[in-house]
Structure 1
Amino acid sequence: MPSVEKDQSREDRIETEIIADAEDKEERAMGWYYYLDDTLNVPFNAKWKKKTRKSATVEEKTVEVLGMAPEDECERDMLLEVVYVGGKDEDVFTAKLSEIEAIDADSETTEAIADWHYWLARGYKF
């Protein structure tokens, strides 16, 4: 059962802009990838909330989102390249978009992230 109420304007955007004409899971994944790649205005700061492997606790780090991970890495999930704020630029990590909460992003970026979170919360899959 979906964990969020249906949002018709978001549903319409997903159907007409993101996964329009997608016939299979690969095409839906690439629709999401290109939508996010075009819409996320990077860099921006975010909270990266990830569960630790050893326990159910959530570790929260402030990161700078640099952009989407390479296309071939996003066939099963939407991934971002991030670096810890104050960290070294060569220390780039891959984070799931579902674990990212924007801090200082513009409205277009915030809406795109919310679209992805909505998609997952509704239980949709590629």
Structure 2
Amino acid sequence: MPSVERDEKREHRIETEIIVDTDNDKEERAMGWYYYLDDTLNVPFMAKWKKKSRKSSEIEEKQVEVIGMAPDDECLKDMYLEVVYPEGNDEDVFSVKLSELEAIDADSETQEAIADWHYWLARGYKF
């Protein structure tokens, strides 16, 4: 059962802008999401990375700078973004799941795209 109520405006955007013409093909849906996010997220922006600790069940929060989408071939099962710790350098870039990120200072277009992805997951939708 979905953990959020149906949002008709968001459903319409997903159907007409993101997964349009995908014919229920998993890879096409993944690429629809990938290109929507790649076109819509205005990077760089700061975010909180929330992940479960391996040693305990506590949620760890770390601040990261989002610098772009991970390569498209890494996003066939989930959406990943490339991030770096503040004051990091090019060798410190790593990928994290978009579902584990919360934007801190992103513009409204970026926040809406992230919310679209979180909504998609909360509704239980899959590629």
TM-score (norm 1): 0.97
1:37 and 2:38 correspond = yes
Residue matched to 1:77: 78
Which has the larger displacement, 38-47 or 88-97?
A: 88-97
- Structure 1 residues without counterparts, runs of 5 or longer: none
Deviation of 1:89 (Å): 3.2
Q: In structure 2, how many angstroms separate the alpha carbons of the residues matched to 1:62 and 1:42?
A: 15
- CA distance in 2 between partners of 1:87 and 1:58 (Å): 23
Give the root-mean-square deviation of aligned CA atoms. 0.8
Q: Per-residue displacement from partner, 1:54-89 (whole Å, max 9, x unpaired)?
A: 221111000000000000000000000000112233
Does the alignment pair 1:15 with 2:9? no
* Cα drift, residue 52 of structure 1: 1.6
Aligned residues: 126
Which amino acid in structure 1 is aligned with residue 94 of structure 2?
F
Structure 1 residue 3 corresponds to structure 2 residue 3: yes
Could you say which residue in structure 2 is the equivalent of 1:54?
55
Query: Unpaired segments of 5 or more residues in structure 2?
Result: none
The one-letter code sitting in structure 2 at the alignment partner of 1:18 is I
1:86 aligns with 2:95: no
Structure 1 residue ranges, 4+ long, deviating more than 2 angstroms after superposition: 86-89
In structure 1, what residue type is equivalent to 2:89? K
Amino acid at match of 2:111: T
**Residue identity matched to 1:7:** D
Partner of 2:99: 98
Amino acid at match of 1:89: D
* Distance across 2 between alignment mates of 1:29 and 1:70: 12
Counterpart-to-counterpart distance in 2, 1:87 and 1:6? 40
In the TM superposition, what is the alpha-carbon distance from 1:53 to its structure 2 partner? 2.0
TM-score by length of 2: 0.97
1:5-38 CA distances to partner (integer Å, 9 max, x unpaired)? 1000000000000000112110000000000000
